[in-house]
Amino acid sequence: MGVRMDGFMSALILIITLSSSCFHLVSCGRMTDILEASADFLEKAFSQELDFDSPDVFSEEWIEKSEQIMKKYVRKIKEVHNLEEHVVKKRGTDEQLTITRDYQGVNALTTIEYLYDTTAQYPRDITLFYLSNDKGVRELCAATLQLVKEDPELEKANMMIVFKFEGDKFKLLDQAPVMGGVDIESFHIKGIPYIVCAEYDAGSSGRPLEGSVVYRLVDKKLQNVQTLNTKYPSDIAIWEDLNEIYMAVAISQVNQPTHTSYEADSIVFRWLGEHFDSITTIKTYNARCVTPFKIGSTMYLAVANHMNNQDETDIDSEIFKYNLNEDRFVSHQKIRTHGAMDIKFFSSANKRKREHFIVVANSFEIGVIDFKTLN
């Protein structure tokens, strides 16, 4: 009976060991769920009446059955809580990397390895895209905003430079001057790359035909497609939905004859075959970032509002919801933020449910000397 009991105990030790490993990976609430599920499983699995005083209670057949049940249970726990390690191959090498996932299936990043650089001078932003060559093969490209022959302490760029990856390095492809570049984005239409730069100082001199420029890259050269009527843009977001390409431009301020107003109309555009056309505006307050996202079949825009006209930073950032019937974005929810600089959306899912999150980077509250704040 001692041998038979050892077989049963080994199965129980397997359960205890697994529960201990789970404890380091999951919250207390999740741990309670696992233990409750364990008790329920074992009760159902071993619900037959047993005479523990009988010398034959732990028969070889019963021990084999119990071990099969325990192994099935362990596999199920690992599957549900994603406790397995996944092995992948590093791009371009035969070296294997081990990626550990947490209980929600999220990859745990362990290291970041240097691969290449673009040799950009005082870069401010970068976007990656592809360019198809004569054989139809996609080649990696990058467009950067950078300062050229200027004070590197300045916050805005004066040149957009496009690179193409060849061999093991990025090589210069083309360039174009920009007026105070603060953000750069790219998208593709029928395989052709388009690049848009938010030019903060464009349109502020009073001269006609000034604004952020939309380029396309054809035959390895930048072509001016459109000049957007955007003054003091701070951020650009481009996305595709409903078989359409949309672009939102966050406007940080409006210059009035007697003062600067932070209450501004940020603009949403739609691509109409050869150019962007404005479809609606949203009221923002010194907007620093705009982020599109989708829940179900509904589009949303999240805007990080930094400051109002009373120089208050303790204000509401806002989430807008797309109204299909009216073809515009309407206010959906306001979130109290403190000098918001950035806003991002992400979602997380397991086999039971999907949850959605908004993350805001707050910079400071007026009066807080050390600029420490909660994000």
* Domain assignment of residue 224, yes or no: no
* Domain assignment of residue 306, yes or no: yes
pLDDT > 80? residue 159: yes
Are both 95 and 7 inside the same structural domain?
A: no
Are both 42 and 106 inside the same structural domain?
A: no
Are both 278 and 373 inside the same structural domain?
A: yes
Domain residue limits at 272: 232-375
Are both 32 and 89 inside the same structural domain?
A: no
Tell me the per-residue pLDDT of 268-306, one tens digit each, with 9 for 90 and over. Answer: 999 999 999 999 999 999 999 999 999 999 999 999 999
Are both 62 and 105 inside the same structural domain?
A: no
Are both 296 and 363 inside the same structural domain?
A: yes
**Bridging pattern class, strands 233-241 and 340-349:** unpaired
Q: Which residue has the tokens 């974005």?
A: 329
Please name the amino acid found at residue 289.
C
Tell me the per-residue pLDDT of 83-122, one tens digit each, with 9 for 90 and over. Answer: 554 444 444 444 555 556 666 666 666 677 888 888 888 8
Cα distance between residue 336 and residue 305, in whole Å: 10
How many domains is the chain partitioned into structurally? Answer: 3
* Domain assignment of residue 328, yes or no: yes
Residue 69, SS3 per DSSP: helix
- Using CA atoms, how far residue 207 sits from 95, 160, 228, 288, 307, in Å, is 57, 21, 14, 25, 28
pLDDT of 118: 85
- String of DSSP letters for 198-233: EETTTT-SS-SS-SEEEEEEETTEEEEEEEE--SSE
Write b or e for each residue in 314-349: b if 16 or more Cβ atoms lie within 10 A of its Cβ, otherwise e.
bbebbbbebeeeeeebeeeeebebbbbbebebeeee
Mean pLDDT of the chain: 80
Binning pLDDT at 50, 70 and 90, where does residue 19 land? Answer: very low
- Overall pTM > 0.85: no
Closest CA to 252 of 328, 152, 183: 183
pLDDT of 22: 44
* Domain assignment of residue 135, yes or no: no
Cα distance between residue 292 and residue 234, in whole Å: 15
Cα distance between residue 224 and residue 176, in whole Å: 10
Are both 295 and 372 inside the same structural domain?
A: yes
pLDDT > 60? residue 5: no
* Domain assignment of residue 118, yes or no: no
- String of DSSP letters for 339-366: SEEEEEEEEEE-SS-EEEEEEEEE---T
Residue 284, SS3 per DSSP: strand
